[in-house]
């Protein structure tokens, strides 16, 4: 089965901001006590030089 990425709705100006958002996504599932957290969380760069976060289960 092919991966179905879920993209966040916001693009960031810096890679640092995107990395903080990615870490928050990873940690929020753990803090909420959910059993299934995303398998992979990734920061990507758009063609226009902005950064985003995507993840999948």
Q: What is the pLDDT of residue 3?
A: 77
Which residues on adjacent β-strands are paired with residue 44?
52
Q: What is the pLDDT of residue 22?
A: 93
Q: What is the pLDDT of residue 1?
A: 66
Neighbours of 23 (CB within 10 A): 13
Taking only the tens place, the pLDDT of each residue in 17-32 is: 999 999 998 888 777 7
Distance between CA atoms of residues 57 and 53, nearest Å: 14
Tens-binned pLDDT, residue by residue, of the chain (57 aa): 677 888 988 999 999 999 999 999 888 877 777 777 788 999 999 999 999 999 987
Q: What is the pLDDT of residue 2?
A: 75
């Amino acid at each position: 089965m092919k991966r179905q990425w879920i993209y966040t709705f916001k693009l960031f100006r810096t890679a640092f901001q995107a990395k903080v958002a990615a870490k928050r996504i990873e940690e929020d599932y753990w803090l909420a006590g959910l059993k299934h957290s995303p398998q992979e969380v990734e920061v990507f760069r758009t063609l226009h030089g902005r950064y985003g976060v995507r993840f999948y289960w």
